[in-house]
A and B are shown apart, each in its own frame.
Chain A
Amino acid sequence: MDYHSPASFAEASALAANATGITRFLAGGTDVLVQLRSELVTPDTLIDIKKIDGVSDIISNADGSWTIGVAATGAEMSEHSELGRDWPGVVEAMDLIGSTQVQGRATLTGNLCNGSPAADSVPAMVAAGVTVTVTGPSGDREVAVEEIPTGPGKTSLSKGELVSAVHIPARGEDGGDAYLRFIPRTEMDIAVVGVGVNLRLDGDTVAEARVSLGAVAPTVLLVEDCAKAIIGSTLDDAALDALAAAASAACNPIDDKRGTIAFRTEVAGVLAKRAAKIAYARAKGEQA
């Protein structure tokens, strides 16, 4: 295994483009090292991106948006109180991943590029409208988070491409987000169902919404029917029931020991309602 620690994303991209065999980028390493050890994936080339300037930065931009470095850890995000005030759903989703020790290493970008349908931070990012910069041999492009995963363990990134920054939009007024997941234990498990909701209010009425589901399909889903079910409503019982029905209808889950198809489908609706209520309360400034 060749190990490289390039000083720029362009150099990282060139290394990957010219490498033969299996290439992995190393950010926090909480998935890559597990795969290495279990011999699931033994890279021929390992490219550590943590020596690139600014990769651990969490930057508040002048327009209210946020730029999160690809090596910024979950712990660093949780400790950033302003980020948590703007995007509590995204920060809490990241914070649900693993232990204190894992939080000290794990990153949003790693969680995304690992390609797990059950990745906790991904539905929250999709709901929030997060985009990433992808650096490749032909330059940079901006890609919506929902367009990165293409199936379990697979992404739309081509050879030589890597995520070089994460962009969270400006929170703006009267908005709120939330992420909830179901696991059979109280801590440290992989989502059986995850739901991210992000909305903006006009008075008491939902003016904009994005709803995303995790662990109920081969990729994280952005479900437009869920958003339609609550846009224009005051999140009354009828709208919540329509939201739950739309969430359940979007599910295409697997059946396994951690959750059956029927269970995951039902719970997706229940969690969508609860997450929407939290996001609504946050948008009203009633709940932190």
Chain B
Amino acid sequence: MSKFHVSTTVNGDSVEYLCDPRETLLDCLRDKLNLTGAKEGCGTGDCGACSVSVDGRLVCSCLMLGVETDGKQIETVEGIADGDVLHPLQQKFIEHAALQCGICTPGILVAAKSLLEKNPNPTEEETRYWLAGNLCRCTGYDKIIRAVMETAEELREAS
């Protein structure tokens, strides 16, 4: 089986890896680049735990092959904080206890950040629909939604 050489940008850093064409972007992030923030929940695009952004577009990294990412800009949960300074979304998730087991959290943070970049003033309904592809079996979602809505408000006030 021939491997493919992939050059891509992850969280602003140029990276290269060799991958089998059957390996998903999620496999490559976790097993080759040691970026284990994105989680494999279902592996079939239903749960959103593997959410990342590719060229500014929110996607499930389990539904994209590693070979498809050549030349793309990838952003993962590891790139959300600025060094030791948490992103406002991360801070609000802690304040609101918007996580319990934490498996869904990286995907939800990436998805919520993507929402606020596109729509700084989402309604609660828009937020719930945007995050409908991110399943959480612990929180019942209310705390997550409150954390996102409050972050949106603070970011609007700050800008």
Q: Which of A101-109, A112-120, A235-243 forms part of the interface with chain B?
A: A101-109
A102 to B62, CA, bound (A): 11
Query: B21, A99: Cβ atoms under 8 Å?
Result: no
Give chain B interface residues in 59-76, CB to chain A under 8 Å: 59-60, 62-65, 67-68
- Among A37, A98, A101, A102, the residue within 8 A (CB) of B111 is A101
B133 within 8 A of A: yes
0/1 per residue, A47-90, Cβ < 8 Å to B? Answer: 01010000000000000000000000101000000000000000
Give chain A interface residues in 34-51, CB to chain B under 8 Å: 34, 36-38, 46, 48, 50
On chain A, the residues within 8 Å of B59 by CB distance are 101, 104-105
A98 to B1, CA, bound (A): 33
Query: A34, B68: Cβ atoms under 8 Å?
Result: no
On chain B, the residues within 8 Å of A29 by CB distance are 63-65, 68
On chain A, the residues within 8 Å of B67 by CB distance are 3, 5, 48
A286 within 8 A of B: no
Give chain B interface residues in 26-56, CB to chain A under 8 Å: 43-46, 48, 51, 54
Query: A38, B111: Cβ atoms under 8 Å?
Result: no
B147 within 8 A of A: no
On chain B, the residues within 8 Å of A1 by CB distance are 1, 21-22
Interface residue count for A (Cβ, 8 Å)?
27
Main secondary structure of the interface of B (DSSP, over half): mixed
A188 within 8 A of B: yes
Query: B22, A102: Cβ atoms under 8 Å?
Result: no
On chain B, the residues within 8 Å of A48 by CB distance are 65, 67-68
Chain B nearest CB from A60 CB (Å) reads 22
Name the CB-closest residue of B to A34. Answer: B44
- Among B57, B63, B133, the residue within 8 A (CB) of A33 is B63
Query: B21, A187: Cβ atoms under 8 Å?
Result: no
On chain A, the residues within 8 Å of B111 by CB distance are 100-101
Interface residue count for B (Cβ, 8 Å)?
31
Name the CB-closest residue of B to A46. Answer: B21
A202 to B131, CA, bound (A): 43
Query: B62, A33: Cβ atoms under 8 Å?
Result: yes
A30 to B58, CA, bound (A): 13
Given A38-B44, A75-B57, A99-B48, A188:B133 Cβ within 8 A? yes
On chain A, the residues within 8 Å of B21 by CB distance are 1-3, 46
Query: B65, A37: Cβ atoms under 8 Å?
Result: no
Name the CB-closest residue of A to B2. Answer: A2
Chain B nearest CB from A255 CB (Å) reads 25
Name the CB-closest residue of A to B43. Answer: A37
Q: A30-B63, A101-B45, A187-B129 are in contact. List 9 more A-B contacts (CB 8 A).
A: A1-B1, A3-B65, A29-B68, A48-B65, A50-B68, A75-B57, A100-B58, A101-B59, A102-B45
Residues of B at under 8 Å CB distance from A? 1, 4, 21-22, 24, 43-46, 48, 51, 54, 57-60, 62-65, 67-68, 111, 114-115, 129-134
